[in-house]
């Protein structure tokens, strides 16, 4: 403990505290909704917001803001060791960031930004969405690597956050420190001069918080903006191939050509007389025309995530039922059998009951809705 005249001094500016609060909320939201595929675009939106909050925090760290500037961080490894060894003992008090939180903050900024950057790559390559949607090509779809990297960075980010929280809790419980309160009211006890912001710093702080909130709202209300836009365009099959549309929508959902590989379409079209117990036979000329269209737009030639995954799951399997493909089974295995029997669904082949735009060739996670 410093022996001197201890008074309440201002340490954390309004902007630092607001940033800290927004970050806690945003990071909690982003991690929770990561578990829900149909909330993917919201996961991305909050991710972008976190990145912007961090970018401003980095600039803030180079501005002359007492305690918040990186210059005032304590990166001394000897201090860190001493701090950690005395976590439960009589450790030194720091007015600004202690050595552990100094390191944690830098790690969180770096891992947070890496998580967002790798997330943007996954969003583009796997989903065909966002600024990197042009990378939604077969070459990159092969690579689960990006997804693994994204997960790795996010988990590391989370680990540092938990370590940081553990540190704060220990400080609070063992040392009865005012660390939590200080992040709310901005004050700590100390014998130094407190923080004072210049007008420029106040303007910058306003821009920091303001633009982050603006970005969040803007992304939420304009789903077609570049950062989250969906590059998968709706297909009007009636215009693309009228015969396919007319013949194949008469008994059931119009299944997009990208949902099965070439071998399945050929097998199906060569045996329309015996089509799942129905006779769906057509003039040979029409059969050839539809077959050609299906083969040319089949799973192996599509950049869509569902196409790639169905195709990859099939290997030696040459089923002609989409619902018999391993990928389809895997993705629907958690849905109770009784759900498919609901009035508004009927049977498992009635895809459009749950996948709103499937007849336009779209299988967005965000469009999945199981009717009651």
317 binds ligand HEC (CB under 6 A): no
Closest alpha carbon to 152 in 128, 121, 130: 121
Phi, psi of 41 (to 5 degrees): -65, -30
305 binds ligand HEC (CB under 6 A): yes
Closest alpha carbon to 273 in 261, 291, 287: 287
x/- contact string, 10-49, with ligand HEC (CB under 6 A)?
---------------------------x------------
Exposed/middle/buried for residue 220 (C-beta within 10 Å: 0-12, 13-18, 19+): middle
309 binds ligand HEC (CB under 6 A): yes
* Contact by Cβ (8 Å): 128, 230: yes
State both tokens at 181. 């309160």
x/- contact string, 207-246, with ligand HEC (CB under 6 A)?
----------------------------------------
Binder of ligand HEC out of 107, 143, 321, 366 (CB under 6 A): 321
370 binds ligand HEC (CB under 6 A): yes
* Contact by Cβ (8 Å): 70, 57: no
Nearer to ligand HEC, 193 or 279 (CB): 279
Cα-only R_g, the chain: 28
340 binds ligand HEC (CB under 6 A): yes
How many Cα atoms sit within 13 Å of 209 on the Cβ side?
Answer: 16
76 binds ligand HEC (CB under 6 A): no
Binder of ligand HEC out of 219, 290, 314, 362 (CB under 6 A): 290
Binder of ligand HEC out of 82, 155, 251, 270 (CB under 6 A): 251
Nearer to ligand HEC, 91 or 309 (CB): 309
Q: How far apart are alpha carbons 199 and 203 in whole angstroms?
A: 6
Nearer to ligand HEC, 93 or 286 (CB): 286
Q: Which residue has the tokens 């990561």?
A: 34
Q: How far apart are alpha carbons 138 and 371 in whole angstroms?
A: 33
Binder of ligand HEC out of 275, 292, 312, 356 (CB under 6 A): 275
Closest alpha carbon to 95 in 197, 187, 190: 190
Stretch in the footprint of ligand HEC (CB under 6 A) among 111-119, 179-187, 192-200, 249-257: 249-257
Q: Which residues contact 152 (CB under 8 A, 6 or more apart)?
A: none
Nearer to ligand HEC, 107 or 249 (CB): 249
Give the interface with ligand HEC as residue ranges (CB under 6 A): 37, 247-248, 250-252, 255, 259, 275-276, 278, 280, 290, 305-306, 309, 321-323, 328, 331-332, 335, 339-340, 345, 347-351, 353-355, 363, 365, 368, 370
């Amino acid at each position: 403990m410093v022996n001197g005249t201890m008074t309440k001094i201002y340490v954390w500016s309004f902007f630092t505290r607001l940033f800290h609060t927004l970050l806690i909320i945003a990071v909690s939201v982003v991690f929770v909704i990561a578990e829900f595929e149909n909330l993917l675009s919201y996961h991305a939106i909050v991710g972008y917001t976190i990145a912007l909050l961090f970018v401003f925090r980095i600039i803030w760290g180079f501005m002359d803001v007492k305690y918040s500037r990186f210059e005032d961080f304590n990166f001394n490894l000897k201090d860190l060791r001493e701090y950690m060894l005395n976590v439960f003992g009589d450790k030194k008090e720091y007015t600004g960031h202690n050595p552990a939180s100094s390191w944690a903050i830098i790690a969180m900024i770096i891992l947070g930004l890496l998580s967002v950057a790798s997330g943007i790559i996954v969003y583009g390559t796997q989903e065909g969405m966002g600024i990197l949607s042009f990378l939604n090509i077969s070459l990159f779809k092969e690579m689960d690597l990006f997804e693994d990297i994204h997960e790795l960075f996010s988990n590391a980010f989370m680990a540092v956050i938990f370590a940081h929280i553990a540190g704060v809790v220990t400080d609070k419980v063992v040392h009865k420190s005012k660390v939590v309160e200080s992040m709310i009211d901005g004050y700590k006890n100390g014998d130094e001069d407190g923080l004072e912001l210049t007008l420029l710093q106040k303007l910058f702080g306003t821009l920091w918080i303001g633009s982050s909130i603006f970005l969040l709202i803007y992304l939420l209300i304009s789903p077609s903006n570049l950062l989250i836009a969906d590059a998968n365009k709706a297909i009007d099959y009636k215009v693309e191939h009228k015969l396919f549309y007319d013949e194949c929508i008469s008994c059931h959902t119009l299944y997009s050509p990208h949902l099965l590989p070439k071998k399945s379409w050929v097998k199906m079209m060569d045996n329309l007389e015996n089509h799942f117990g129905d006779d769906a036979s057509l003039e040979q000329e029409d059969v050839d025309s539809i077959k050609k269209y299906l083969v040319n737009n089949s799973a192996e030639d599509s950049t869509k995530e569902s196409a790639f995954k169905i195709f990859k799951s099939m290997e030696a399997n040459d089923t002609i039922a989409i619902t018999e493909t391993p990928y389809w089974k895997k993705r629907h295995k958690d849905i109770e059998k009784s759900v498919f029997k609901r009035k508004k669904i009927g049977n498992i082949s009635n895809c459009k009951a749950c996948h709103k735009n499937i007849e336009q060739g779209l299988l967005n996670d965000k469009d999945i809705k199981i009717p009651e």
